[in-house]
Amino acid sequence: AQSVAQPEDQVNVAEGNPLTVKCTYSVSGNPYLFWYVQYPNRGLQFLLKYITGDNLVKGSYGFEAEFNKSQTSFHLKKPSALVSDSALYFCAVRDGHTDKLIFGTGTRLQVFP
């Protein structure tokens, strides 16, 4: 069965600094990996996905993520954080055998001015 782990409950970063939100996964086949963001009292919004090809994928709002097969990781990154990036971030994974998308427990990103 597939699973995903987000080891940090919260990440704090100063505005303008780079940010990283960590995610590792476990699947039996090829992974399809996703990042979503959730603002307070809002639904989840899709940020980016890795299906195949280039290990570095770019998404919405200047976010990017790097797929690392050997480390089974898919960390979310942004070169320069904004206060408005403060939100809850979820990593999610499917394997190639099912359409069921499994989410991690989430990481709260707090960007300080």
Partner 1 sequence: GAGVSQTPSNKVTEKGKYVELRCDPISGHTALYWYRQSLGQGPEFLIYFQGTGAADDSGLPNDRFFAVRPEGSVSTLKIQRTERGDSAVYLCASSLNSGGGTGELFFGEGSRLTVL
Q: Which residues bind partner 1 (CB under 8 A)?
A: 6, 32, 34, 36, 41-46, 49, 51, 90, 94-96, 98-106
CB of 15 or CB of 103, closer to partner 1: 103
Those residues with Cβ within 8 angstroms of residue 66's Cβ, 6 or more apart along the chain or in another chain: 55, 56, 57, 73, 74, 75, 77
Alpha-carbon distance 48 to 88, whole Å? 15
Strands (E), 15-69: 19-21, 24-26, 32-38, 44-50, 56-58, 64-68
Query: Shortest distance, CB of residue 72 to partner 1, whole angstroms?
Result: 18
CB of 41 or CB of 70, closer to partner 1: 41
Query: Shortest distance, CB of residue 47 to partner 1, whole angstroms?
Result: 9
Query: Shortest distance, CB of residue 60 to partner 1, whole angstroms?
Result: 11
CB of 78 or CB of 94, closer to partner 1: 94
